[in-house]
Amino acid sequence: MRAEQWEKLLAVIEGEVFEPLPVGFIIDSPWLPSWAGMSILDYFSSEQMWFEANLEVVRQFPEVLFLPGFWSEFGMCTEPSAFGSRCRWSENEMPFAGKIIMDIKDIHLLDKPNPKTDGLPPLILKRLKHYQGRIEEAGHSIKFAVSRGPLNVASFLMNSTEFLIAIRTNPEDVQKLLGTITDFTVDWLRLQAATFSSIDGVLILDDIVGFLGEEDFRKTALPYLTRIFQSLDVTAKFFHNDAAGLICAPYLAQMGVNLFNFSYEHSLAEMKELTRNKITLLGNIPPRDVLAAGTVEDVNKNVKEALNSVTDKSHIIMSCGGGMPIDVPTENIEAIVSAVKKCK
């Protein structure tokens, strides 16, 4: 991210209104390799191809905030791999982390991994270190420490259905598991921040939060996410949950979050009310049906409807309701930028 983009992001988080409003997207491996004309496996296995794809997109769309920016990642495998998950790779499918907890008692045998040595995290950092100079030569810097959230990681280590059931049937075991994952996550984020002095933000992605009711959220998610977001003294605290977000929204400020990417099924007006307009909202165009599969006219219509739904344009970055989905064409990204410019 360029310095002026970072300053604009922080200004929007503080409540400053820009005309036109900023446009931003979470971009990673489901979309970027295909857009750049390479396979997903090439994107993961070649540092040079990863860098060139990220460089190409920031040059193609210089007005857009790409978050977290030059994201070094291996899909959902990064954090589970540190715990020992077997990662399965395909040429053009997202990698998958296999479960390692076959019995609920296995939770108590799970040790906290070391992000300096275990699984894929060391390779994440090496990729960034190898290309840090070229990223900075291009006018950008590494601004975010990034991790999947504790419930998301737990759902891979156990299997999503079994984990969600265990929240009710084995709450003490689940608390033990989430405590271990949270300890590791804090270590992982702090290692990233210690490695790159330019980091001034944290991004946590956890869609499993959207499958909880309020009581389960307060007991199972809130304390761990709060600890994670408060573990780094950074300015931008960014949470992604594009499953149902109505339960977590009122607690975001308490967690320490000040930037939220949420499901397109919730309107900007609804989320502004739930967050008391204290949280900057990144959304809220339907990602698959409009941004990926829709026409330019569909994009224009949805941008206009989304922005017309709110009178207060503070704390808004126009985006899709989730990460950038695969197959989003260049013309639809350009259409969002153009449509936002037309909305006063």
pLDDT range class, residue 333, cuts 50, 70, 90:
very high
pLDDT digits (tens, 9 = 90+) for 171-214: 999 999 999 999 999 999 999 999 999 999 999 999 999 999 99
Backbone angles phi, psi at 88, to 5 degrees: -105, 130
Strands 259-262 and 65-67: unpaired
Reported as a pLDDT band with limits 50, 70 and 90, residue 110 is very high
Tokens of 146: 């990034």
- What three-state secondary structure class fits 257? coil
pTM: 0.97
CA distance 201 to 229: 10
Residue whose C-alpha is closest to residue 85's, from 184, 233, 14: 184
Query: Per-residue confidence at 314, pLDDT binned at 50, 70, 90?
Result: very high
Q: Return the amino acid letter for 280.
A: T
- What's the CATH code, domain 3-342? 3.20.20.210
Distance (Å, whole) CA 201 – CA 203: 7
CA pair distance 58, 9, nearest whole angstrom: 16
3-state secondary structure of 248: coil
Extents of the domains making up the chain:
3-342
Tell me the chain's radius of gyration from C-alpha atoms: 19
